[in-house]
């Protein structure tokens, strides 16, 4: 061990020190020396900093990115969405089980339209993919950078007889390890109406279409997607080891996965299959495996309904196979709690019925509110994700 230290040069020690600093500090240090700017911008240093951030995530501290929206109405009855992003650093004493956290508000100048929120649709290596209105935006909140992607292609559909309508179906984002680049996949739902009033009874479902955006080409291309025309995606996607995952429904709930390398979609069966009475809420990562929250309602002693959440983990996460294990059940909860994500082995973040962020310990049953600086009006949307800080540029 001493030989390794003796062989280190001052430059090696500098790289080691700088690679463990937070992104905001590194962005300031780029102005100190030209050589430091060149070092911090180099791909090898960016990769080393990301590896250190991933290692820090596995330690006692966890970073969570919280996305909240409000919709104030003004005296002239006009209204618009306002978006608030906060970075929460969480830790727990191993002996006392005391929860410690710090909250930092972020100011990201998204290219928003007044009547559209900012909705997270995936994240990978510190880069977050969002939709606001018709715009797809990549953002690195740790360094305050964002990049608006070009508009998607208008794909022609064959044999259209009536009035065509397209709508957003789903979005995924992740890293293609084969091509060594980031990709965004977008799924579009299509239908046509046989009357001018566009009534539901005259709606005809058409095949879905899909496109992939690559950061190196900075453009979209059409890809094949073969799922039922009645399928829709109803969860925020999760990226894991080259695959994007969504909960989907075509009359039966299933997981739709997308291989970013081969650009092929796969269908994965949910836990317990068709006979399951569980309602699947959302996907998340648990110890580098794909997991999902499931809700189960039942009668309580006073004849009111209570809610229990089950957590299921997929044993084989290579995109195709579907072996699941039930991890645990938590609850019952008497109110309409919404689980967001696990941030420690027995601690998970959830939103209460009044849209407050809360940390719940499944071992002790302790529930603790996170005192996040309030916003003036009711919270409309609330999203949370385990975040790893990076200095990967998006521009």
More confident residue, 179 or 273: 179
pLDDT at 151 over 80: yes
pLDDT at 320 over 70: no
pLDDT at 321 over 60: no
Q: How confident is the model at residue 58 (pLDDT cuts 50, 70, 90)?
A: low
- Give the model's pLDDT for residue 303: 42
CATH code: domain 42-386 is: 2.120.10.30
pLDDT at 306 over 80: no
pLDDT tens digits, one per residue of 229-281: 889 898 789 999 999 999 999 988 899 999 999 999 999 888 875 555 677 88
Q: How many CB atoms lie within 10 A of CB 242?
A: 17
pLDDT at 61 over 90: no
- Give the model's pLDDT for residue 4: 46
Q: How confident is the model at residue 57 (pLDDT cuts 50, 70, 90)?
A: low
DSSP secondary structure letters along 242-309: TEEEEEEESSSEEEEEEETTTTEEEEEEPTTGGG---EEEEEEEETTEEEEEEEEEEE-TTS-EEEEE
43-57 and 34-41 helices cross at what angle (nearest 10)?
A: 70
Average pLDDT over residues 384-392: 92
Instruction: Burial-class residue 135 by CB neighbours within 10 Å (0-12, 13-18, 19+).
Output: middle
Average pLDDT score over the chain: 83
CA gap 129, 115 in Å, rounded: 19
């Amino acid at each position: 061990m001493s030989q390794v230290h003796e062989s280190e040069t001052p430059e090696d020690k500098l790289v080691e020190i700088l690679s463990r600093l937070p992104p905001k500090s590194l962005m300031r240090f780029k102005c100190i020396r030209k050589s430091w700017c060149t070092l911090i911008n180099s791909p090898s240093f960016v990769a080393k900093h990301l590896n250190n951030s991933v290692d820090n995530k596995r330690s006692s501290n966890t970073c969570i990115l919280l996305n909240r929206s409000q919709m104030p109405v003004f005296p002239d009855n006009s209204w618009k969405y306002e978006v608030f992003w906060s970075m929460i650093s969480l830790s727990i004493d191993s002996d006392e089980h005391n929860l410690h956290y710090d909250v930092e508000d972020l100011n990201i100048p998204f290219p928003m339209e007044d009547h559209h929120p900012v909705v997270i649709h995936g994240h990978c290596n510190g880069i977050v993919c969002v939709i606001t209105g018709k715009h797809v935006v990549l953002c690195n909140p740790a360094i305050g950078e964002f990049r608006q992607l070009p508009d998607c292609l208008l794909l022609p559909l064959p044999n259209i007889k009536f009035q065509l309508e397209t709508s957003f179906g789903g979005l995924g984002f992740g890293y293609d390890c084969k091509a060594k680049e980031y990709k965004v996949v977008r799924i579009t739902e299509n239908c046509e109406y046989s009357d001018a009033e566009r009534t539901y009874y005259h709606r005809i479902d058409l095949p879905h279409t899909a496109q992939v955006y690559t950061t190196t080409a900075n453009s979209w291309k059409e890809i094949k997607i073969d799922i039922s025309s009645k399928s829709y995606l109803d969860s925020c996607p999760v990226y894991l080891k080259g695959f994007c995952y969504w909960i989907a429904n075509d009359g039966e709930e299933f997981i739709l996965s997308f291989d970013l390398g081969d650009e092929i979609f796969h269908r994965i069966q949910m836990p317990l299959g068709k006979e399951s009475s569980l309602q699947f809420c959302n996907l998340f990562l648990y110890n580098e495996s794909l997991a999902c929250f499931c809700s189960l309602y039942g009668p309580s002693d006073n004849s009111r309904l209570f809610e229990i959440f089950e957590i299921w983990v997929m044993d084989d996460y290579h995109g195709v196979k579907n072996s699941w294990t039930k991890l645990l059940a938590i609850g019952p909860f008497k109110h309409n709690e919404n689980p967001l994500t696990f941030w420690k082995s027995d601690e998970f973040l959830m939103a209460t019925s009044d849209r407050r962020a809360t940390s719940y310990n499944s071992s002790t049953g302790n529930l603790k509110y996170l005192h996040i600086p309030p916003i003036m009006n009711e919270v409309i949307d609330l999203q949370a994700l385990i975040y790893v800080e990076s200095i990967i540029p998006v521009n």
